[in-house]
Structure 1
């Protein structure tokens, strides 16, 4: 079995009469299909189809066989027939159907079908799709990196793929022949083996390519190595065997396991399931996670990327799926982490073609939207198995591809580049809280606008007030956030500010209207601490100014609010004197607010009511304690349009 992509590889195909699908009939095609003999499976299935004995599942197997055999026209026809029946097509096969249709009819001709299918896909997938479609169409020449990509001279006519750094050498997988080795018939090559060669300063490898003998010998597949320098161990995949012979599941399928070879010769079989193949192990020294690809039944598509926790390579947890931000309805393989960026390959249909390499940034144990690396590393063919390291003043990396001009089925390619490849994006993330900073604001809308006010992207905060929004790179953006009964937030970012925010959070606060107001005397007023003017004075004290600053902040948060300033005094003194005193107090507070930047249009009235509205029995001639008189000394900032603010 070939473990590269792993699945490499209009509608005018004529089946004759309508296909008649039978119930539960066996077919020789099944055995061929599970042994990856797709040409033979096609012949057997087509014979059974002519007899009318093909089951729906076998019809789907036939479509997959066409697909694997690169007969995309026939594959698309069968997938479409099954799609119209709304039967067995899950998201993984919808991805294959779209791949086939794009191969046959080209881009831009299947928008109607994709729109009809969109309800079947998860939100994350649709976001990834929209983002990559947008960024791949935005070709800015001044952002293009100068790649030096070269074919390795030591490639063979067979498949050479899955490069891995090993001290001063390069490890890779190959189907090149060795003496006394069996031939793996589906690929027409030797069973895969791991080889090594010395790395040269120019990025090429030596012509003296040798089998990698530091791992146990086997007559069957050994492939996709990864050298964990800290453990000095080699992770790799190998064929499931029992007593030296291939082991098969009930369907006659032979799968791949993951093992680890240590320098002392100890071999550990880490992951094995007769019905599940494991691919492309990658060990992250920092987290001690072992990443890999597998085709478990609970995947989001075909082959997904998972990880397990380890203790120096010993498995310590069940496999954990990376989730729908990374895994798609397609196949995801070949995980690799470099400087906080997560690279992998996927054959999701919106790429440049076949398998493409994608990059996602690691953010507090979450992933940013995976971005296609674009032309250069990626092509219209299969590009996969990407690795990279610092070398001199730049970066040296390798990947595999079956693009035109190679020497074999898959070739190893090297590249040199000055900085990390990948189309530049802008990601803003953080948390929105209320003014006290202790309560997250859930379901607030967050928008990014361009310098002309055009909407670039929109999202909502989660239950804890966290947001994340990502777009193709812009030199200037405006961040806006709003939620009913909360203050509106707006911030413009320059290019310098955006660069400074890379890999950091941008948190901000908003005001909750209902927390800042209260009901008093049958009116909605701004909530303030009670304050007092001096006896017979309208001079502002620092305590009064502190409360007035809260009023100014309220208007800044809710600029549509219209106020009436009301001031009252107690019954002591003459009534006309009290009217003048309270009017002066209201006017003084208004002048302070205007000086603080509150627009005059927000303060419709400033009124002194004197002793006209006594709240208790302390009227003229009644003896009262000072604290009772103070109950009548008050200022209110009444919100006149309270009932209209959020209509």
Structure 2
């Protein structure tokens, strides 16, 4: 497993023996990474006295490390019932063990039981990826080939450089010391060029980065800044440097092609891994295990200016980071690729892809599926545009059929990898006072009206929802006592929504109605038809559009259209005119999308219901007559 190379055993602790004098023989074997021997010794010690919960977790970790997932899951579950000392990373291993034993339903049940304690992002990420595993699929039109330059040792972490790649390896060299925990050489950086057949060839130690007797690994080359970024052991005067606990950590350094070297990230007690420099944002991404980690190693970035670090490390957050380990960040075409050993994957480390919505917002990381991923460790994924519109790249894996521990693989594919998803995020607000509306149900439906997914807005009205890409989407939002919104979008419209905030405005029924003449009616401005006519003019249309909007927002709304005239003219002509006006209003509403089911009746009362003393024969000013000419939309 490559993690023993790049995360666990790269952190060399020579004073371990002193720190473990009070530990049992089994503990010493466990902390010495001799997991199979630790298992046997723990089983022997159990015959003499019960193991502590900490030792049971060590035993569970040992079973996990040697692939005995059934034994591991039983111990993790037992400790989880009786104690709270389990780390979030061990929590992930417990669920990984269950997943590896094909107990995904049990994992889902366990997650639901812990829903209150888990982040909504973790629950959503897991459910999304588990649903993909329920219908497993491999990448279409992808060719994967074992690189011919691999050695019997570990070869991993490729990066594009000029006409070839740089990569890391523990292959032996006379000039390089042996790293005692692995029995292999300290990690070094190598270069391999692409030959005329587009195959990697002619491996050589990369001399442009100064030699060191210790670890030098996981390079990344920025073409724009002509700078190498890589990790190296902390040293002083040519010797390893340790913190007060005897720990030697890894730093990130940069080297310009002019030969200027800088330590960018260095802490004697914290190791940094897998640097990636984004030329567009000038962010330096990396992996580390800080106090704010969501699990093991998380992905972080720092801002830089002219090669100088300009910010504290910023965690990419729970959408990307998990109770597992996240490593190997790589950005291409607006998407973040990385690897994680989170429990909902195919194996150990899997490659995931997340689209970058904004500076610190990401879509659900999607497993790239079988092919790139396997039942073992797959990581260090890099990709670029190839010939004829395809994509090419490399990754590392310790899958069966390789030459050594971790091996380099090349790939070529016709399509951009990863499942395309549709993400909608924004805010639900009250249209009247613009405040956020919480607990509003937001749903996405397909072209057949089937609900793909639903969510609820937060206390501030914020929401986010994501589904696999479809040809058409309908967005619905509803809240008790409020209007309903339903809008459909084609693929073109969906593409536009992907990169902007989508705000939904709802309104309370009480804000749309008023009491008039002892009736509940829609709140509209007063409008008038042209004298003696029943034709919908511009003034009338302005108010009728509000009626259409109200019915759209409240589809169950039932209205009775009541039209009145003043007393001028004959009673029969006024009755006829008011009925014609009611019918004209009804026709307009139906032509503009209001269902006839929403209109209970359209009736003209003529001059039968006069509001003031302006009856037949009475002298009244025009504005008093106008008070009697009106249309009411009565809510049934």
Residue 363 (1) aligns with residue 357 (2) = yes
Does 1:242 find its partner at 2:236?
yes
Match of 1:627 in 2: 623
Q: Are 1:87 and 2:84 an aligned pair?
A: yes
Partners of 1:521 and 1:502 lie apart in 2 by: 45
Distance across 1 between alignment mates of 2:208 and 2:155: 19
Aligned to 1:353: 347
> Partner of 2:277 in structure 1?
283
Is 1:551 aligned to residue 547 of structure 2?
A: yes
Secondary structure of 2:273's counterpart equals: strand
Partner of 1:146: 141
Cα deviation for residue 607 of structure 1 reads 3.7
**1:643 alignment counterpart:** none
Residue of structure 1 in register with 2:335 after alignment:
341
Structure-1 separation of matches of 2:111 and 2:597 = 51
Q: CA deviation at 1:413?
A: 0.9
Do the aligned partners of 1:567 and 1:586 also contact (CA within 8 Å) in 2?
Answer: yes
Give the aligned partner of residue 121 of structure 2. 124
Q: In the TM superposition, what are the counterparts of 1:453-602 in structure 2 within 5 Å? A: 453-461=449-457, 467-475=463-471, 477-491=473-487, 497=492, 503-504=498-499, 512=507, 513-535=509-531, 537-570=533-566, 581-594=577-590, 596=592, 598-602=594-598
Alpha-carbon offset, residue 474 of structure 1 = 3.9
Shift of the 31–256 alpha-carbon distance from structure 1 to 2, 3 Å rule, reads farther
TM-score of the two chains, using structure 2 as the length reference:
0.86
In 2, the alpha carbon distance for the partners of 1:508 and 1:112 equals: 34
After superposition, what is the alpha-carbon deviation per residue over 1:154-181, rounded to whole angstroms, capped at 9, x for unaligned?
Answer: 1111111111111123111111111143
Which residue does the alignment assign to 1:262? 256
* Per-residue deviation, residues 209-259 of structure 1 (Å, max 9, x unmatched): 222222233221111111111221111111222333223334433221111
Structure 2 regions of 5+ residues with no counterpart?
10-20
SS at match of 2:85: coil
Q: What's the offset of the Cα at 1:79? A: 2.1
8 Å CA contact retained: 2:96, 2:343: yes
Count of matched residue pairs:
621
* CA gap 1:120/1:465 in 2 versus in 1, 3 angstroms: closer
**Superposed displacement of residue 337, structure 1:** 0.5
Alpha-carbon distance change, 80 to 587 in structure 1, aligned in 2, over 3 angstroms: closer
1:135 aligns with 2:132: yes
Please tell me whether the aligned partners of residues 442 and 454 of structure 2 are also in contact (alpha carbons under 8 angstroms): yes
Contact 1:39/1:65 (<8 A) preserved: yes
625 and 610 in structure 1: CA distance in 2 versus 1, 3 angstrom threshold: same
- Answer with 286-295 or 605-614: which moved more: 605-614
Please tell me whether the aligned partners of residues 137 and 370 of structure 2 are also in contact (alpha carbons under 8 angstroms). no
Alignment of structure 1 residues 63-212 onto 2, 5 Å = 63-103=60-100, 112-139=109-136, 144-207=139-202, 209-212=203-206
Does the 8 A contact of 2:53 with 2:83 survive in 1?
Answer: no
Aligned to 2:418: 422
Q: For residue 310 of structure 1, report the CA deviation from its aligned partner.
A: 0.8
Superposed CA deviations along residues 406-456 of structure 1, whole A, max 9, x for unmatched, are 111111111112222223444455666788998876644232334554432
For residues 112 and 547 of structure 1, the distance between their equivalents in structure 2, rounded to whole angstroms, comes to 53
Write the distance in 2 (CA, Å) between the matches of 1:625 and 1:189. 105
Equivalent residue number for residue 15 of structure 2: none
Q: Deviations over 1:549-580 (max 9, x none)?
A: 43344334433222222233445567676556
Deviations 1:506-547 (A, max 9, x none): 958666344433333332222222122445555543322332
**CA–CA distance in 2 between the matches of 1:240 and 1:46?**
38
Unmatched runs of 5 consecutive residues or more in structure 1: 9-23, 641-647
Shift of 1:77: 4.1
Question: Hey, what's the Cα distance between the residues in 1 that align with 2:502 and 2:432?
Answer: 13
Q: CA RMSD in A?
A: 3.6
